[in-house]
């Protein structure tokens, strides 16, 4: 089964983001590579368990410079108050150009394109690498497996739904921003607690794309909170990142 959602193709030019607190790393598997940035807690103790936050960027930040993925959201986690109050391992992987976190199809011509969300789509190469990276992180660090969190914006919001669908027991909480998914996957999304965000004036990924999956999740008794920002367009991540309770909500979720 597949579902259609009409939206404009979104692409932006971004400049490099310097965030020296995030170390540059590269994950390799089967001849493919995925750049990623990792932020370890201050006074990191290799023998201590830490929560994991995985953040998936949007289409405008794709590439292999291992910098662009930090443009949106990274400052949340480098803030001194966050690092003091919420010691965690934070990872920003970077999706390759012309690829995606989730399999989708696009019909029609710009500006009226139909994005197709699949119910049982095969994993993209980037999703395979992402899942491999998660396994590597579990082996390398003492992660608190009951406090693993994932979020993302736009293409990364779509990727958040897809990653949970494929790994329904892994995460304690998820926070997709201006994303979407096929409502038919709602039954696969029961384990995490969700906070979904969207702007009701989004012309790139229409708010309906989140509303439809949230409605289906409610019908499946998934614990989901939905915040819609009136008059806000595609950059609803600015509003979501400014939510004063976001981090407290996230870190109180335990699988």
pLDDT single digits (tens) 238-252 = 999 999 999 999 999
How far apart CA 186 and CA 194 sit, in angstroms, is 12
| pLDDT of amino acid 11 | 37
pLDDT in tens, 199-237: 999 988 989 999 999 999 999 999 999 999 999 999 999
Number of domains in the chain: 1
Helix crossing, 125-140 with 155-166: angle to 10°? 70
Residue 5 has pLDDT above 90, yes or no: no
How far apart CA 2 and CA 149 sit, in angstroms, is 27
Annotate 162-224 with three-state secondary structure.
HHHHHCCCCCCEEEEECCCCCHHHHHHHCCCEEEEEEECCCCCCCCHHHHHHHHHHHHCCCCE
Least confident span in 57-71, 85-99, 103-117, 188-202: 103-117
Annotate 10-34 with three-state secondary structure.
CCCCCCCCCCCCCEEEEEEECCEEE
Residue 9 has pLDDT above 60, yes or no: no
The helix/strand/coil state of 54 is strand
Average pLDDT in the chain = 92
* Nearest one of 40, 93, 91, 39 to 68, comparing CA atoms: 93
**Taking the mean position of all CA atoms in its chain, how far away is CA 245?**
18
Q: How confident is the model at residue 13 (pLDDT cuts 50, 70, 90)?
A: very low
Confidence (pTM) = 0.93
**Residue-number span of the structural domain to which 84 is assigned:** 2-251
| pLDDT of amino acid 105 | 79
Q: How confident is the model at residue 104 (pLDDT cuts 50, 70, 90)?
A: confident
Average pLDDT over residues 154-178: 98
| pLDDT of amino acid 203 | 87
Q: What is the CATH number of the domain that holds 202?
A: 3.40.50.1820
How far apart CA 169 and CA 165 sit, in angstroms, is 9
């Amino acid at each position: 089964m597949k579902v259609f959602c009409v939206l404009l193709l979104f692409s932006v030019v971004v400049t490099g983001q310097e965030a020296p607190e995030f170390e540059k790393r590269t994950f390799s598997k089967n001849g493919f590579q995925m750049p990623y940035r990792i932020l370890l807690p201050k006074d990191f103790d290799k023998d201590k368990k830490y929560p994991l936050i995985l953040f998936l960027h949007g289409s405008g930040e794709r590439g292999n410079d291992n910098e662009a993925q930090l443009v949106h959201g990274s400052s949340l986690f480098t803030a001194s108050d966050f690092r003091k109050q919420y010691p965690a391992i934070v990872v920003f992987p970077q999706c390759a150009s012309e690829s995606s976190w989730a399999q989708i199809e696009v019909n029609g011509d710009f500006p009226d394109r139909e994005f197709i969300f699949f119910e049982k789509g095969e994993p993209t190469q980037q999703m395979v690498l992402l899942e491999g990276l998660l396994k590597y992180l579990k082996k390398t660090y003492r992660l608190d497996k009951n406090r693993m969190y994932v979020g993302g914006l736009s293409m990364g919001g779509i990727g958040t739904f897809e990653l949970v669908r494929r790994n329904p027991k892994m995460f304690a909480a998820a926070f997709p921003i201006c994303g979407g998914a096929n409502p038919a996957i709602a039954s696969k999304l029961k384990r995490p607690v969700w906070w979904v965000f969207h702007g009701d004036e989004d012309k790139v990924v229409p708010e309906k794309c989140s509303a439809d999956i949230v409605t289906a999740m409610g019908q499946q008794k998934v614990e989901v909170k939905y915040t819609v920002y009136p008059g806000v367009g595609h950059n609803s991540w600015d509003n979501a990142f400014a939510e004063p309770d976001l981090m407290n909500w996230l870190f109180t979720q335990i699988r």
